Amino acid sequence: MGLFHYFPPKHETTDPELEKRIFKHSLVFPSLFLLAFWLIFLVESTIDVELAVYGIFPLKLEGLKGILFSPFIHSGYKHLAANSIPFFVLSLALFYFYRKLAYRIFILIYILSGLCVWLGGRDAWHIGASGVIYGLASFLFFSGIFRNDVKLLTIAIIVVFLYGGMFWGIFPLKPDVSWESHLWGSVSGLLLSIYYRKQGPQRPHYDWEDELDEEDETVEKDTTIYTTSNTNEYFGQKTEKNE
């Protein structure tokens, strides 16, 4: 299993050993990102440099680099700590449950959310991984609904339970918070969940559903419809019994 295909194309989900290997791989990417977040923060704090200039500054050429670098930059310990856990949990869920799409979805959320902030944000430096976090939460929630699968719906419910309060972050309630990153991250996740709704994990089809369909067809064929002989006498017509 390679880096981008860390699962065999066809495999039984009941294979516990394989699922363990996939779970372990799903931990790697979020862990590496999280490690980079903290290392960069420690370096910035230790040598006392200001890395906010590597964030996104809307409609400025020097702000374009922030599309790549801004998620790694945080304003302080509280900002970093607040982003670390949701980033790790949501990334892990994406890579484990959406293994065929995970890298593609993550990269697209990463780029789209940052690009939209660059195009439509306020004139300020936008930093932090919140845009990616909101994009992941949005994708997991709406994708679980669109796919109508019990397991994925459960993930969607858990996302709402753990991070439902994030919803208010898409509104301009705090002047020092980049609500634009939250908003465009959420929009990116929603659009991707719609576009990829027929790819990746799908609701399993069970044998008993085929049996129900066959029974319904049999009932329809064997059912005879009768009408009363005097239904249309008022209109000068007589309706005969169907045989």
Give per-residue pLDDT as tens, 189-231: 999 999 999 887 776 554 434 454 555 565 555 555 544 445 4
How far apart CA 98 and CA 200 sit, in angstroms, is 6
Give percent of the chain above pLDDT 70.
77
Helices 77-97, 150-163: crossing angle, 10 deg rounding: 170
H-only helix segments in 70-178:
77-97, 102-120, 130-147, 150-163
- Is the pLDDT at 241 greater than 70, yes or no? no
pTM (2 d.p.):
0.80
Q: How far is CA 141 from CA 151, 160, 162, 190, 199, in A?
A: 12, 7, 12, 9, 16
Rounded to the nearest integer, the mean pLDDT of the chain is 83
Give percent of the chain above pLDDT 90.
56
Q: What is the pLDDT of residues 56-114, one digit of tens each?
A: 999 999 999 999 999 999 999 999 999 999 999 999 999 999 988 999 999 999 999 99
202, two tokens = 């799908």
Query: Looking at 34-38, 109-113, 180-184, 213-217, which range is the least confident one?
Result: 213-217
142, two tokens = 């709406």
Q: How far is CA 216 from CA 104, 123, 157, 209, 213, in A?
A: 41, 62, 33, 11, 5
In this prediction, residues 35-47 reach a mean pLDDT of: 94
Phi and psi torsions of 126, nearest 5°: -105, 120
Angle at 196 between CA 193 and CA 201, to 5 degrees: 95
* 112 or 174, greater pLDDT: 112
223, two tokens = 């059912």
Tell me the three state secondary structure of residue 126: strand
